[in-house]
């Protein structure tokens, strides 16, 4: 990150954000460090304008057969190794379609989900975890990612789930602003540091109310294809 980038962070988000960014990026120069902001979205806190699907688009959960078909287009970023993983967990995909083209999608699970070769996220299965959101380049700028989340939230709430659970890295200020605008509420932080090849975790006590924590994966899982993991 150059000085112009730091200047942009300062001008858009202020001094505290700049210091957070400097600390995070500086520490990552010498080791692995993450500060994850845990958050939930419930229907009553959702800005209802996000439930409106733009004209010419339709939204729904996609079938296995449809997903296998869309995966054949590399621009949809659904490699076979990821689909194998998601299908095995019975995760679901909510997509926004433009005619017969997949414009945007997000994946949902109420089971522990891998974040990387080395880490997995755990949470109370009364919530649905949203991950691997993606919008094709030609459809970006239409808030489709947020619209998809809002409509998936409505469906899961109707099915009896409390809402959506997710996280954003503490120095991803643009994403934090976007999700808080939707109605997401922060409930705590999880800190991850890797020292001499081992991970150390600390989470705020409020994370316990959501069963929200990170664990290290077993060594046998470390050779899985990178495309398996959440983005």
pTM score, two decimals? 0.87
Q: Could you list the residue range(s) of the whole structural domain that residue 138 is in? A: 31-228
Per-residue pLDDT of the chain (231 residues; tens, 9 = 90+): 566 665 665 556 566 656 666 656 666 677 899 999 999 999 999 999 999 999 999 999 999 999 999 999 999 999 999 999 999 999 999 999 999 899 999 999 999 999 988 999 999 999 999 999 999 999 999 999 999 999 999 999 999 999 999 999 998 888 899 999 999 999 999 999 999 889 999 999 999 999 999 999 864 444 446 655 555
In this structure, is residue 150 part of a structural domain?
Answer: yes
Q: State the Cα–Cα distance between residues 184 and 199, nearest whole angstrom.
A: 28
Task: Let me know if residue 81 belongs to a domain.
Answer: yes
Distance CA(165)–CA(178), nearest Å, equals 15
Q: How far apart are CA 131 and CA 230, in angstroms?
A: 6
Q: Please report whether residue 14 resides in a domain.
A: no
* 26 is a domain residue: no
Number of domains in the chain: 1
Residue 180: predicted pLDDT: 95
Let me know if residue 109 belongs to a domain: yes
Flag whether 126 is in a domain.
Answer: yes
With beta carbons less than 8 A apart as the criterion, state whether 130 and 231 touch. Answer: no
Tell whether 15 is covered by a domain: no
Residue 77 covered by a domain:
yes
Q: What is the CATH number of the domain that holds 92?
A: 3.40.630.30
Backbone angles phi, psi at 216, to 5 degrees: -80, 140
């Amino acid at each position: 990150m150059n000085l112009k980038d730091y200047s942009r962070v300062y001008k858009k988000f202020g001094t505290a954000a700049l210091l957070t960014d400097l600390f995070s990026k500086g520490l990552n120069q010498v080791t692995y460090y993450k500060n994850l902001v845990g958050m939930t979205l419930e229907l009553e806190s959702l800005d209802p304008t996000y439930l409106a699907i733009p004209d010419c688009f339709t939204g729904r959960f996609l079938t296995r057969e449809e997903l296998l078909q869309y995966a054949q287009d590399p621009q949809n970023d659904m490699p076979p190794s990821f689909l194998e993983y998601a299908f095995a967990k019975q995760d679901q995909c909510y997509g926004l379609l433009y005619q017969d083209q997949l414009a945007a999608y997000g994946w949902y699970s109420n089971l522990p989900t891998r974040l990387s070769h080395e880490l997995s996220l755990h949470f109370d299965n009364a919530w649905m975890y949203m991950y691997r959101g993606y919008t094709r380049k030609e459809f970006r700028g239409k808030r489709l990612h947020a619209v998809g989340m809002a409509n998936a939230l409505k469906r899961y709430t109707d099915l009896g789930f409390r809402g959506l659970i997710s996280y954003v890295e503490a120095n991803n200020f643009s994403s934090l602003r976007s999700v808080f605008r939707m109605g997401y509420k922060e409930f705590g932080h999880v800190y991850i540091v890797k020292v001499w090849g081992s991970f150390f975790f600390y989470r705020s006590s409020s994370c316990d109310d959501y069963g929200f924590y990170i664990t290290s994966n077993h060594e046998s899982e470390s050779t899985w294809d990178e495309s398996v993991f959440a983005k």
